[in-house]
Amino acid sequence: MAKKRASITDLAEQLNIAASTVSRALNGHSAISEATTKRVLALAKELGYQPNNMAAGLRRGRSNMLGVVVPHIDGNFFSQVVKGIEASASKAGYHVLICQSNEDVVHERQNVETLLNAQVDGILVSLSRTTREFKHFEKVRKRDVPIVFFDRILEGYDVNAVVLDDRAGGYRATKHLLTQGYQRIAHFAGPQHLNIYKHRRQGYEEALREHGLPVDEELILFCDMKMQDGIVGTKQLLALPQPPDAIFSASDFTAAGALQVLKERGLQVPADMALVGFSNELFSRLTEPMLTSIDQHCEAMGHSATRLLLQIMKEQGQHFAPRHIVLQPELCMRASSLHQHQVELSYKKK
C-alpha cells in the first residue's frame, strides 16, 4: 500500500507553480507573496507533506544529526549525560546518533569513521579508557566537522571540551573528611592516564598538603574502580600496621566494596572509618549508612557540551581558540562521613 509521500514537486504541480516557489514558501525564504505562501502551506497540510530530509541534506551538505561516542551507554553517568545531550539537541532541531566504544580505542576509531560517514554535523566524544592518542580524530579535523569532548579528555591537546573540575571534587571530598576530624585518609585512585582520576587524586593530595598532612603513598591504591577492587583494597588497608580512619574513593563502586568489607569485619561507618565516594550513583542514597559522594551534574554536562557544540557549528570557518568549560561538582554529605549527631545536610532530590 505504502502511500507515496507527497514531494515538493507534487505540491508545485497541483498549485501550478514551480517547485522552487514551494520550497521558498515552506522555508519562508525569499520574498514570496503571502497569498502564495498560504496556498502552499494549506496544500502541504492537506497532503501531509513531510520534507525529505535526505534530499535536503544532500543538497545542503548537512544532515541535522549530531554524533555521540561514549564508552558505554548503560550506567549512571553516561546515560544521564546522553539524556542531557538528547534533550538539548532535539530542542535545537537535531537528531542524536549514538555509538558505544565499549572502552575500546579500536571501536572508538570505527565509531568516529561511522559518524563521519553518516555525515553528522557535529560530534561529541567521551574517550574510552584505552585511548591514549588522538590520531583517529585527525580526520575529523580535516573534514572540518566540529567536535567537542566531554568528561574524559586527553591532556596536551587543544580541543573544545566540557569537563568537571575533578580536582575541586577531590579537594572538597578530602577537605570535608579533614573537617570532620579524620586524619589518616586513604584514596582509591583510578587509571592515571585519564584526566578525571588524575585530577581527583591531585585534589586529594592538595587538601592533605594544605592541612599540613603528608601524602602517604601507602594509602593511595590504584585500581580499576570496580566494586571488587574496593573489597580487595579495603582488606589491604586494614592489614596495614596503621590503617586509615577514612577513605576517599574516586568511585562510588569501590566505596561500596569498602563498605561491604567494613561491615563484615564489624567496623562502624563512619565511627571507625569514614567513606566518601565519587559520582553520586543512584545507590549511594540506598546504602546503610548512606554514602557521601560527589555529584557531577551529569545532565548539565550533556546540555553544556551540546550547547558548546552547536555554538561552534554556528561559527564554522571562524575557528576561534578551543574552549574549555569547567563544571563544578557538588559534595553531597551523607551519613558515611558525618559524625554521629549530624544528619544529611545536602539532600539532592533527583
Q: Which residues bind its own copies (CB under 8 A)?
A: 1-3, 5, 50-55, 57-58, 63, 65, 72-76, 78-80, 82-83, 86-87, 90, 95-100, 114, 116-119, 142-144, 256, 260, 263, 281-283, 286-288, 299
In this complex, which beta carbon is closest to its own copies, that of residue 76 or of residue 311? 76
Are 153 and 127 a contacting pair, CB within 8 Å? yes
Binding string, 57-96, against DNA, x = CB under 7 A?
Answer: -xxxx-----------------------------------
Q: For residues 203 and 177, what is the distance between their CA atoms, to the nearest angstrom?
A: 13
Asked whether position 20 contacts DNA by CB under 7 A, the answer is yes
C-alpha R_g of the chain:
26
Q: For residues 115 and 108, what is the distance between their CA atoms, to the nearest angstrom?
A: 11
Residue 36 binding target from its own copies, DNA, none, CB below 5 to 8 Å by type: DNA
In this complex, which beta carbon is closest to DNA, that of residue 39 or of residue 324? 39
Are 94 and 121 a contacting pair, CB within 8 Å? yes
Q: Residue 286 Cβ, how far from DNA at the closest point, in Å?
A: 50
Count of beta carbons in the 10 Å neighbourhood of residue 183: 11
User: In which residue are the cell numbers 508545485 written?
Assistant: 12
Residue 222 binding target from DNA, its own copies, none, CB below 5 to 8 Å by type: none
Asked whether position 24 contacts DNA by CB under 7 A, the answer is yes
**Which amino acid belongs to residue 128?**
S
Q: For residues 318 and 202, what is the distance between their CA atoms, to the nearest angstrom?
A: 36
| DSSP result, 103-171 | T-HHHHHHHHHHHHHTT-SEEEE---TT----GGGHHHHHTT--EEEESS--TTS---EEEE-HHHHHH
Residue 99 binding target from its own copies, DNA, none, CB below 5 to 8 Å by type: its own copies
In this complex, which beta carbon is closest to DNA, that of residue 266 or of residue 317? 317
Asked whether position 263 contacts DNA by CB under 7 A, the answer is no
Are 12 and 18 a contacting pair, CB within 8 Å? yes
Q: For residues 290 and 298, what is the distance between their CA atoms, to the nearest angstrom?
A: 20
Within residues 40-59, the interface with DNA by CB under 7 A covers 49, 51-52, 55-56, 58-59
CA dihedral 106, 111, 114, 120 (to 10 degrees): -150
Classify 3 as helix, strand or coil. coil
In this complex, which beta carbon is closest to its own copies, that of residue 195 or of residue 287? 287
C-alpha cell at 201: 587524586
Residue 30 binding target from its own copies, DNA, none, CB below 5 to 8 Å by type: DNA
Residue 144 binding target from its own copies, DNA, none, CB below 5 to 8 Å by type: its own copies
In this complex, which beta carbon is closest to DNA, that of residue 31 or of residue 321? 31
Q: Residue 50 Cβ, how far from its own copies at the closest point, in Å?
A: 6
In this complex, which beta carbon is closest to DNA, that of residue 32 or of residue 261? 32
- What residues line the site for DNA (CB under 7 A)? 4-5, 7-9, 16-21, 23-24, 26-27, 29-33, 35-36, 49, 51-52, 55-56, 58-61
